[in-house]
Chains A and B, each alone.
Chain A
Amino acid sequence: MDVLTCIKRVPDTGSKIVLTEDRQSIDASNLGFTMSPHEECAIEAAVQLVEAHGGTARVLTLGPPAADEQLRTGLAMTADEATLLETDGAEWGPRATANAIADAVRAAEEEFDLLLFGNESADAANYQVGIRVAERLGLPVVAGIKSLEVEDGTAIAGREVSGGEEIYEVDLPAVVTVKEGINEPRYASMRAKMSARRQEVDRREPDAESGPGTFEKLRLEAPSDEDSAAEVLGEGPEAVPRIIEVLEEEVEVV
């Protein structure tokens, strides 16, 4: 089976988010980049399915030339092919992104059996790209999935709900958006990383087409850490009586 996994390059923010002067984006000059854990799990699900059923796993991202790095992470996790829908680095909204991905899927030589996405991106978190791609392609879509199997052309997908799991059965081709926890993504071996570096990445220029209405970012704001001054109860085990006091008198849990 042929599986396409769509990922997004995002800054690897640490303990504090710093914005650029124009407040349009995160100041990433001192940061590395990564992809969301949801998407890492989506790649893992894809390569596991291909290992079990044969076929190819392709990773795709819409992003700046540097997003090549995240595609190579996918290749090092043993995906077979990679596609970069190359932008100039400006942020694309969820609708334009979904339209460009759907059009790339239509134009591809492969007929994908399964399209995988993260449930939401780590940064913008619009919760809609996978669903919009599915609707545009006329495919069924199951979102927020934490277990996935494929049997005889049917995807069996589980979504976590309070107290258990809801199970969906969907005929392929289909779109599934996944959440971290669905599997444990592999660590790429040194050798896999080396060979991923030499692999060809298919580069294309996407069309920005959005449709009626607008949803556009005006500015970002990093909420100031609320009164960031914790009360220090003490050092080492000597603080235990003070901890008990807090548990007893303030929080009233003992």
Chain B
Amino acid sequence: MILGFVEWEAGEPLETSLQMLTLARDVADQTGTSLAAVAFGEEGAAVADHLGEYGVERVHHVADDRLTPYAPAAWGQALADLLEDHRPEAVLAPGTDRCQEVLAHVGATCDLPMAADCTAVEAGDAYEVTRHRWGGSLVEHARLEASTKLLSTAVHEVPIEPADVPTDPTVHTVEPTVDAEDLRVQVDRREESDVEGVPLGEARVVVGGGRGVGGPEDFDQLEELADLLDGALGSSRAAVNEGWRPHDDQIGLTGTKITPDIYIACGISGAVQHWVGCKGADTVLAINTDPEAAIMQKGEYAVVGDLHEIVPELNEALREREG
């Protein structure tokens, strides 16, 4: 059996979990075994209704109240119990903060190796996995061999595909063996953020500024452009380090990964650590004085010139159109 760790919201599986299940089904097909899923929490059973489409045959529902709210070590213990009872060939989890964390707990408690951010698997006795390094600017081929292989999938890398033959999954309730020690870390409370506007990670249009913007005031022009396009403002790490923008605005390896329809990058060179954060954009349009800058090659469109001349003119033209 191949076991996939499914996260959900409002009773529906998250997109990142469906991406993971698509890879998990591929591994199950390659090894001629069945595909099962595990889901935590109240609505975990309802999620099963959505998983037949992806070829899941069994859903293990962890329905222990002590595990709500989220408690990483306890969730890891629940998975470790499933490993012990069912000895799956592999456990796959989406590469989200939570799943990555829970899987690492399983790796530690069961003393198993774990491969993070995988995009493909060639399954034999050992698995040859393809995985991301440097946020995806480098690819690693690695060999993973263990009684149960633990893998997380890189998010937004495996396109979601339903199964050829849908299934009708059975639901099995799991009672995990968690103790007080597993519950030392548990979400205590939630605080809402007071940031207004479209969150960077969800915006359809993102306008980014880098060192080439030259100072904090000059970001006003970019903010105006973002507003005119109902988008969000982002920045490079250089602009954050200069103190021109808060870290919340940072796009890249150690910032936010964006997936807009268009990313307009102004005065940004396109270092690999920035690029991995914006390559999820459908279209990248770069404005830069240096035609040789990496971002001017990697994106779809390039405009050569000074952003301080181009952006105000662009804003003016957009304002006129709005009239």
Contact = CB atoms under 8 A, between A and B. Distances in A.
Contacts of B116: 120, 125-128
Interface string A122-165: 11111110011011101011111000000000000011011111
Interface residues of A, number: 88
A37 B132 contact: no
Interface size class of B (residues with CB under 8 A): 35 or more
A90 interface: no
Q: Which of A140, A220, A221, A243 has its CB near the most chain B CB atoms (within 10 A)?
A: A243
B139 A220 contact: yes
B198 interface: no
Interface in B243-279: 243, 247-248, 250, 253-255, 261-262, 269-273
A93 interface: yes
Interface string A94-129: 110010000000000000000000001011111110
A98 B310 CA distance: 51
A191 to B, nearest CB: 22
What does DSSP make chain A's interface, helix, strand, loop or mixed? mixed
Interface string A65-109: 000000000000000000000000000011100100000000000
A50 interface: no
B148 to A, nearest CB: 9
B188 interface: yes
Nearest to B107: A128
Contacts of A13: 134, 137, 271-273
A82 to B, nearest CB: 23
A189 B293 CA distance: 32
Where chain B touches its partner, the secondary structure class is mixed
A40 to B, nearest CB: 10
Contact of A223 (B137, B152, B189, B297): B137
B317 A221 contact: no
A218 B128 contact: yes
B294 interface: yes
A190 interface: no
Interface of B: 70, 72-73, 95, 97, 100-101, 103-105, 107-109, 111-117, 126, 128, 132-147, 152, 181, 184-193, 199, 204-205, 229-231, 237, 243, 247-248, 250, 253-255, 261-262, 269-273, 282-286, 291, 293-294, 296-306, 309-310, 313-314, 317-318, 321
